[in-house]
Amino acid sequence: MDTNELLDTAVRAADDKRAENIVVLNMKGISLIADYFIICHGNSEKQVEAIAREVKDRAMEQGQDIKRLEGIDESRWVLIDLNDVVVHVFHKDERPYYNLEKLWGDAPAYTADQVLN
């Protein structure tokens, strides 16, 4: 699976579980960690967990290795490392505190609709 297909799969999975305010940051040339960050949030711990599990399961169905999955027990900030794509699923109360969009403000940002179309 190439990076764009992986990005599409992860965004669709989050969107299908009704993740809110999905933002994709293009990290190419900015970070050595990944090519893309996906940032979204859920309104409860159960929704955060459901979003994270859906992203993980869909990636695995496509043959993608999950490099790391952290935070699923508390479901306040779940990180799913898919190598070239890192997905951050926040609880709605945690997202403004960490404000990754501002931290990586120099990265080009896209909405889910822009990525999926």
What is the Cβ-side half-sphere exposure of residue 109, based on CA atoms within 13 angstroms? 13
The predicted structure's pLDDT at residue 117: 80
Task: Spell out the domains of the chain, with CATH numbers in brackets.
Answer: 3-116 (3.30.460.10)
For every one of its 117 residues, what pLDDT tens digit does the chain have, with 9 covering 90 and above? 799 999 999 999 999 999 999 999 999 999 999 999 999 999 999 999 999 999 999 999 999 999 999 999 999 999 999 999 999 999 999 999 999 999 998 999 999 999 988
Angle value at C-alpha 78, between 76 and 83, nearest 5 degrees = 165
Sheet of 77-81, strands arranged across: 68-70, 77-81, 85-91, 36-42, 20-26, 109-111
The predicted structure's pLDDT at residue 101: 92
Angle value at C-alpha 108, between 90 and 94, nearest 5 degrees = 15
Angle value at C-alpha 24, between 18 and 27, nearest 5 degrees = 155
